[in-house]
Structure 1
Amino acid sequence: MTKKDHEESGLSKSVWSDADLEEMGWHDATVHALFLQPGEMASRLLLDLDYPVRWVPPVRRRDPFTFWVAPATLVFEEVWDLEGSLDFKGLAPELELDGIHRLAPPDGRAEYPLWHLEGHAFELKFRASGFRQYFRQAPRHVAGPMLEYADRGGCAFTEVGFD
């Protein structure tokens, strides 16, 4: 991968994959949009999200954390057996991830693991061959784990990492 890294935030490359799963964490990543792209045999699942690249501890103990955040497109390939739930009863409808887990497939077909996207008020489970995540812009240092709509360039499913 030849894309430039971003030293201040600690982001080492602008395109990641399921091979990097152990190094990644989606806690507090905000999902702005989901797109299920149909295919002949299987679909693709694309998510437009704000990914917290790094949490920055406060200088003074009483101050809040700040964050390095980048808009990203997360693409799962060859998606099938998709199921999920939403439970926003009494809550503002906001999709915020807690984590993404790769689980052993129930039928032993290792080429299609079971993926679990766990959110604060939703979850998705599906089979997929893997994923790529494209950081569309360099991370910005901001007060919270989500970017302003205009700062992130609106909603997008661009599959190219920043230069």
Structure 2
Amino acid sequence: MSAYLSHNVAVIASPHPASGLSKAVWTDADFMGMGWHDCRVHAISIGGYEDDTLPPGRLLLDLDYIVRWVEPSGEEFPFTHWISPATLVFERAWKITGQLEPTHEVLEIADMHRLDPPDDQPDARWHIEGHNFELSLRAHGYIQYLRLPPLHVARQVLTMVERGGISFAKQSFA
């Protein structure tokens, strides 16, 4: 979110007014206001750090984040969507487990849950339920970067050209 002065009054400008998007970087503090239902996952990376002093785990998802579902009005095509390519990052992730069903279909998130720690460790347990897959991990939280301004499309996914290909970039458009 950026601020600017209008007649000596500070005004907060939305990074993308047409879609209603209030900011381009989201964290686990925003969890209750976010939803990942039907967000397409294009790529998953489980990797380490170059610095051996840090914990080894990091989970990144390259996905199409549905910023807003637009209800049809009258004779229009059923739901349209404001979608932005995003990188969802769980830094210092550990106890990463998952399952991928034999499939020829794409990966879409059904829901993401934040669960209380089952032990005395402070990191939450995260569970990502998907169509044909699931992921579980422990991490303190996440950061999600919307890499490009949302596009208004008549489907629930962006094309590779619209999204700029596969990326795990940790940078937002605003």
* TM-score using structure 2 length: 0.86
1:105 aligned to 2:113? no
* TM-score using structure 1 length: 0.92
Larger RCO (CA within 8 A; separation ≥ 6): 1
Number of the residue aligned with 1:29:
39
1:65 aligned to 2:79? yes
Q: Tell me, what secondary structure is at the counterpart of 2:163?
A: coil
**Greater gyration radius:** 2
Structure 2 residues without counterparts, runs of 5 or longer: 3-12
Q: Does the 8 Å contact 1:73/1:134 carry over to 2?
A: yes
Deviations 1:11-49 (A, max 9, x none): 100100000000100001000001112134231111110
1:142 aligned to 2:153? yes
Structure 1 residues without counterparts, runs of 5 or longer: none
Change (3 A) 1:62 1:68: closer
Number of the residue aligned with 1:9:
19
Q: Tell me, what secondary structure is at the counterpart of 2:72?
A: coil
Deviating above 3 A after TM superposition, structure 1's stretches of 4 or more consecutive aligned residues are 1-4
Separation (CA, whole Å) in 2 of partners of 1:108 and 1:9 = 41
Q: Tell me, what secondary structure is at the counterpart of 1:160?
A: coil
Separation (CA, whole Å) in 2 of partners of 1:98 and 1:66 = 18
Amino acid at match of 1:13: K
Deviations 1:102-145 (A, max 9, x none): 101110323x1100011011100110111000000000000111
User: How much does 1:62 deviate?
Assistant: 7.5
Q: Percent of pairs identical after alignment?
A: 49
Alignment length (residue pairs): 160
Separation (CA, whole Å) in 1 of partners of 2:76 and 2:131 = 25
Separation (CA, whole Å) in 1 of partners of 2:71 and 2:166 = 29
Q: Does the 8 Å contact 2:27/2:144 carry over to 1?
A: yes
Q: How does 1:126-141 map to 2 (within 5 A)?
A: 126-141=137-152
Separation (CA, whole Å) in 1 of partners of 2:119 and 2:147 = 36
Aligned alpha-carbon RMSD (Å) = 1.6
Separation (CA, whole Å) in 2 of partners of 1:85 and 1:54 = 29
Number of the residue aligned with 2:169:
158
Q: Does the 8 Å contact 1:77/1:130 carry over to 2?
A: yes
Separation (CA, whole Å) in 1 of partners of 2:76 and 2:163 = 29
